[in-house]
Structure 1
Amino acid sequence: MVMMYEVAEASEYLVITGGWIKDMKLTKKSWVFPGQRCTRIDLSPVNYTFEVQAMSAEKLPFILPAVFTIGPRADEPDSILKYAKLMSSQSTTSNHVTDLVGGVIEGETRVLAASMTMEEIFKGTKEFKQEVFNKVQVELNQFGLIIYNANVKQLVDVRGHEYFSYLGQKVQMEAANQARIDVAEAKMKGEVGSKLRDGQTKQNAAKIDAETKIISTQRQGEGKKQELKVETEVKIYQNQQEAMAAEANAQLAMKKAGWAKEAEVAQVESKKAVAIREAELQREVERMNALTTTEKLKADLLTKATVEFETKSQEANAVLYAKQKAAEAYLYEKQKESEAIKAAAEAELYQRKQKVEGELYAKLKEAEGLTALAEAQGTYIRSILGAFGGNYSAMRDYLMINGGVFQDLAKSNAEAVRGLQPKLSIWTNGDNSGGSDAMKEVGGIYKMLPPLFKTVQEQTGMLPPSWMPQLPTDQN
């Protein structure tokens, strides 16, 4: 496989998987290296037409034809990844997306229809469509799909359940009956209107005659009223002129009295104003004196407070400085103690490390010595075995004699026998003549060997070497 440069179409994305890619790589163009696989996914929306058979809350079945325009959510990379995983799970020629969308739409439509009556579904087609749209969209989000458009057609009856046909006939009959009622009402309104117009004409004529007589009578009364009104206005004008003259005289008298009063008030006010001004000036003088005394007291108190504040500040600063120095000394002491503890810990760690390394080295050397000893013993045993011509029994007997095994066994048996305080028997051949005492002792020892070898055989199961005297066999 060679390296290739792939470029996607305007409505496509490249999905690259394989070597050097953790999960999936979405891109418009990229190099495809050996060990990688490139798949093209189309993001164009697709129209899905369904005829969903559902049942209302009254157990009335119906068919809901619907057309959904569904496609991947192209503005969200996570949704494209979900759609890419969905498409990669099946072959490119399968209808798994159509089956998936159809299953979701049918399931949600049936659940929603089961909670609504047929009248609610029929009258609220827009709301029913929106509910189906929302519930289907929630399920499609997990696959990275979005509904671009949803068109729910007119509801259709199921064969054998002609609910909508009967409902249409009912609507047609109601419309026909309403039309008949409207025609009858129109005829009635025409006849009643004709009679009403004739009566209104006669009423209007009589009304006009009555109004004419009333207007003529009113005209005559108004003429008389106008004459009386002119006479009355002349008398009223004369009375008004006389009243105006009397009022002018009264106002003149009142003004003269007011002017005299104002003159007297002005004199009193001028005297009082002088007294008020004097009191104000006296109060201002006293206020200034009080302010002066207050400022003096403030200055004295402020000076004293300033001195006390500076004294207290210096004392507080001295205490703070002493505490800071004490804290710094304590901190320095603790740092030095921690450094000393750290150095001691490091020294102890190094000492333990050296001790462990020394013990490890001693163990290694001891193991090497044991290995060398084992190798030397192996060489020694191989040499002895070669010297005996490969006779293992002869080599074993030699090693036991050389190692003093028989002597140890004899000594152990003697110690055991001594502890038991046995009765000893000395075997002889019964001939004590013809020899010295030394030879008698040797002969006695030699005679003791068969019972000794027999005891060794019974306790250990080992036979004496071939070059030594053998045990006598029992003769029946």
Structure 2
Amino acid sequence: MAYKIASADEYLAITGAGIDTVKITKKAMIWPLQRCHKFSIQPQDYSINLQTMTREKLQFLLPVVFTIGPDVNRRGARGRREDLGDAPEDLGDALMKFAMLLAEGESKGGITGKQHIENIVKGIIEGETRVLVSSLTMEEIFSAREEFKRRIFRNIQSELDQFGLKIYNANVKELRDAPESNYFNSLSKKAHEGAINQARIDVAEAQRRGNVGEAQRVGEQNREIAKINAETAVQKTERDSEKAKAEATLATRKAEYKRDVDIAQIEATRATEARDEELRKAVEVKRAQTELERLRASDVVKATILRESKQQAADAKNYEEQARSNAALYSEQKAADAHAYKVKAQAEAAYISAAKEAEARLICQQKEAAGISAMANAYADMSRAFGGPAGLIQYLMIEKGVYVDLAKANADAVRGLNPKMTIWNTGAQAGSEGSSSQGTGMGGIDSIRNLYQMLPPLMSTINEQSGVVLPEWQFGKLADQISQEEVNGKGITGLGTNGK
């Protein structure tokens, strides 16, 4: 018992116990009383040089080559289950026919299975080819070479089917003369001579056509060249004209673009300069405001420090004078109590006086330091309370009377200048007419009347304070019509040139 497997180009043919005829498979378990034979399925080439005769009794040699092998594609229905070891044999399998043909050849003495198949195939090819050629003429064989090949293929294949064989390729080589026959040689000579004569004729005809055609081509060439030169000249002129137009357009566009670019650059420069001037002006304004605030703060701080320093110096001087007077009184009392201790009392008085002075200076300095520290803390609290240093400075100026002092200084500065001032009133309070118009809704008329009432005293005041005399045709007559009673009655009062 053994398990056998066939290679890719082989099959197993199994006979014996359990198998009626032959079992074809690729792998199988070989049981006792069974025989297994491997056979190849590769196609074989069969080359035959046939001597045959046409219907015209012309003999020739017909070399043919056929590639024939088992038809592995034409299997029975059961043959497709060859992978099953127990599959029954298939009587319609082409491989089974081929295997039986091999076995038949081996059963005969002196030859192998391949030789037996070769004899059968060559016999079929010779017989079918001769039958086919004998029914055709030589001209039919030459003129319908492909049809002749197909008919040989079809007749031989129909005979090979009964042995499970298939023609994979068929090739009919060049026909040759049989021994003692010159048919193809004569035909070749005839064709050769005819070809030579025809070639001479063709050469002469070709030379004639060539010379005529050459002359025609030269004339056509000259005409075409002249036509092309003329068209080229016209096109060149048109291109030059278009080029000139394009160059002019380009120059115009370049000039326009350059003008736009120059204008844009000038506008950008002017805008930059204007913006720079605006920023510089804003900086100068900020700088002036800062300098003004700094000067104001500096003046206020200086005035505050000066006043406080003067106050502290005065307090220290009073304290020193008081201490000195107390020391003198104490020394006089000691002198009255005991003259004997005068020297000692004077020394003690001098010592006490020096100690007092030192203590007074110490206390003064401590007070000054404590006052400055307390003042700084107070100023910090007041600064936060008044919203910043600016609010604190205004408060201190009000508290210390700085604004009053400034007003007095301004008054002293203008004292003795004797300014001229004139005050007049217009409106409802100027007389009874103005009060009566409020109840009647005549506010617009009152405004116009007040404006005209203001003009005469205004012109009179200008004349009194500056000496300018207005033309009579404008306000001279109008001023003369205003009496002193009207001025006093309507609330227009004037102060003289003395400022009363």
Bigger relative CO (Cα 8 Å, ≥ 6 apart):
2
Larger radius of gyration: 2
- Regarding TM over 0.5, the answer is no
Query: Which bin holds the TM-score, normalised by the shorter protein?
Result: 0.3 to 0.5
Instruction: Give the structure-2-normalised TM-score.
Output: 0.38
